[in-house]
């Protein structure tokens, strides 16, 4: 099964993705994790990406598309995968459509984790990652609303969007996600 996780920073995508890939036994493709690994390695891509990340801005599409495209050709991705934090722009969504069309492996659904801003701020302030400073958080939320939110319409039109209430304890949120996944499994079984 191929799934996309969309949600603002702090919505719990990372936590819920870990549980979901464990449940479905599919690889977890987090562009945030891939970029942080490139930054830690101090590779040229990492140095460039790191500048955008520390400012709370999106890394340019060509870099992201190249990283994801490379990862998608690896054997473990053939049976499905969970995209976490990708796509984040319409350009990325269209590139993903092209990748999946070539491989004849459509998306099963786009899970949208919904959490109000006040709760996002509280959660991010507690987390303390390098890009979790208040001014960077504000910029990341702005990037989300400006560049990523239009994707919700895009996937709604394709009838792929499944909104999920992301408030409450992680166990409770995961139960909601599981309910959607189990529905999808029935829809997709012959
Ligand atoms: P995340 O771990 O998903 O919150 O991503 C952390 C940071 O990495 C973001 O604030 C962006 O700067 C960058 N990033 C991650 N994924 C993408 C993407 N798909 N497109 C552009 N930038 C990204």
**Centroid of ligand 1 to alpha carbon of 60 (angstroms):** 10
**Domains, in order of start, for the chain:** 2-33+77-175 (3.40.50.300)
Q: Confirm if 12 and 26 have CB atoms less than 8 A apart.
A: no
Of residues 18, 19, 28, the one with CA closest to residue 71: 28
The 3-state DSSP class for residue 107 equals: coil
Counting residues of the chain whose pLDDT is more than 90, the rounded percentage is 83
Using the Cα atoms of residue 118, residue 120, residue 122 and residue 128 in order, give the sign of their dihedral: negative
Q: What's the pLDDT tens digit per position in 135-172?
A: 898 999 999 999 999 999 999 999 999 999 999 999 99
Please, which residues bridge with residue 29 across strands?
A: 83
Using the Cα atoms of residue 109, residue 168, residue 150 and residue 129 in order, give the sign of their dihedral: negative
pLDDT band with cut points at 50, 70 and 90 for residue 36: very high
Ligand 1 contact, 7 CB (< 6 A)? no
Confidence check: pLDDT of 189 > 80? no
- Average pLDDT over the chain reads 94
**Centroid of ligand 1 to alpha carbon of 32 (angstroms):** 5
């Amino acid at each position: 099964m191929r799934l996309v996780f969309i949600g603002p920073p702090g919505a719990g995508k990372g936590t819920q993705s870990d549980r979901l890939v464990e449940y479905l036994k599919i690889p977890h493709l987090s562009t945030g994790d891939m970029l942080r690994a490139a930054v830690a390695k101090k590779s040229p891509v990492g140095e460039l990406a790191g500048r955008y990340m520390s400012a709370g801005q999106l890394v340019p599409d060509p870099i992201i598309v190249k990283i994801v495209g490379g990862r998608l050709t690896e054997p473990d991705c053939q049976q499905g995968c969970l995209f976490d934090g990708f796509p984040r722009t319409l350009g990325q969504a269209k590139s993903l459509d092209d990748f999946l069309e070539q491989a004849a492996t459509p998306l099963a659904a786009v899970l949208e984790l919904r959490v109000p801003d006040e709760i996002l701020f509280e959660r991010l302030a507690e987390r303390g990652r390098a890009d979790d400073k208040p001014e960077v958080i504000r910029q990341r939320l702005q990037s989300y609303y400006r560049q990523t939110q239009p994707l919700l319409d895009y996937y709604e039109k394709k009838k792929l969007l499944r909104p999920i209430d992301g408030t409450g304890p992680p166990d409770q949120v995961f139960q909601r996600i599981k309910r959607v996944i189990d529905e999808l499994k029935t829809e997709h079984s012959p």
